[in-house]
Amino acid sequence: MSDRTFAMFLGAGFSKWATNLPVASQLFDFEIEPWGSRENKKLELVKSIKNNWDIHHPDGLIEQFIAEALNFPEKSRKAVLWYIVRRLSEPFIWKEFHSQKWRRHVLMIDEYRKFNVPGLVKTQNFIQRFYTPFLAGIVTTNYDMIVEYALGSKIFNYGVRNQMLIGRGPYPVSQWRNPVTLKGDVFLAKIHGSISWDDHAYYTDGRRGLTGDALIVAPTPEKKPPACLKNVWDVAERILRDVTRLAVFGFAFNPYDAAVLNLLKRGGSNIKSVLLVDVAPRKERVHQLWPNVMIISCHSPEEGESEIQKWLIQQQSN
């Protein structure tokens, strides 16, 4: 990948801009539509748990609540984890009347109906601006499938080209018999897991965002990756290893994200230039990782168009 000179790193602020998914501090807004009595009971349980915790921790952070929830009795722990992935799946749930009953699924990677999701077209346009022969890959801390939707299965892979996914192809369902493979050459490393993964497989859609059995690293202070995601972190380090330019969107470089910061510092030792897209760019934190790096910072792509274009032109000329 020596000729692939730049990469993208996407944090929670990117998904907030893209499709208005909540960042950690907004996660427990309970803005989901329960599907039947079972989900409604789960939702009410999580509301009760969170309200009780808030009473005893009026100044507590969401990350602290989740860290404690992971040690709750199994029913409560599973309910909180279900809510997290369910909330991040909400905008991408498709409902249809089929075989005399209503059914639902989280949209498949290549499904054309994904473009009904507000913000996804602008997001696709933004990401594909960076899709050039120089792009080594994309690293993200997000569980959602926004990047997959934006690129499509012909552009990206999870670290192995022609990897076969489990599940259906794009609508119509005539694609059931044709396995979906990731044919692209852009690496995508989801270092905190995905609503489309579990401990056993990678899927064509975000079905694990409905069941709650997704392979994710919950947003807690000083979170560390489980051993089952080691290969994903290896892909992330491979992406960063040779790049000299990095576009960072919506990542705050918080000190409690020590494992991610170490990954960036270790893997990105050759980085010379950073495009920092954030409502409150933390330049000083970037310089703590890379003291001599050149930084171009801006707000959202709408406001920061000139700075983004300037950085892209510089990338193409070097």
Per domain, the residue ranges of the chain are 6-317
Q: 3-state SS of 186-236?
A: EEEEECCEECCECCCCEECCCCHHHHCCCEECCCCCCCCCCHHHHHHHHHH
Q: Tokens for 227?
A: 């051993």
Q: What is the pLDDT of residue 6?
A: 92
Q: Which residues pair with 137 in a beta bridge?
A: 7, 187
Question: Contact at 8 Å (CB) between 146 and 123?
Answer: yes
- Helices and strands (DSSP H and E) totals, the chain: 11, 13
pLDDT of amino acid 173: 56
Q: Which two tokens stand for residue 175?
A: 């694609």
pLDDT on residue 4:
79
CA separation, residue 187 to residues 136, 159, 182, 254, 310 (Å) = 7, 5, 10, 25, 25
pLDDT of residue 1: 42
Q: Could you give the count of Cα atoms lying within 13 Å of 292 in the half-sphere of its Cβ? A: 5
- Contacts with 286 (C-beta within 8 Å, 6 or more apart), sequence order: 248, 253, 274, 276, 293, 295
Q: List the one residue out of 173, 145, 139 whose CA is nearest residue 85.
A: 145
* Residue 9, amino acid: F
Cα–Cα distance, 180 to 196 (Å, whole number): 14
CA–CA distance, 219 with 193 (Å, rounded to integer): 11
Q: CA-CA distance, 181 to 21, in Å (whole number)?
A: 27
Among the residues of the chain, which ranges form H helices? 12-19, 36-56, 62-69, 74-89, 120-129, 146-151, 208-211, 230-241, 258-267, 283-289, 305-317
SS3 of the chain: helix, strand, coil, percent, to 5: 45, 20, 40
The overall longest dimension of the chain from CA atoms, in Å, is 63
Tokens 């009595």 belong to: 37
**Dihedral through CA 299, CA 305, CA 306, CA 312, nearest 10?**
100
| pLDDT lower than 50: segments of the chain | 1, 174
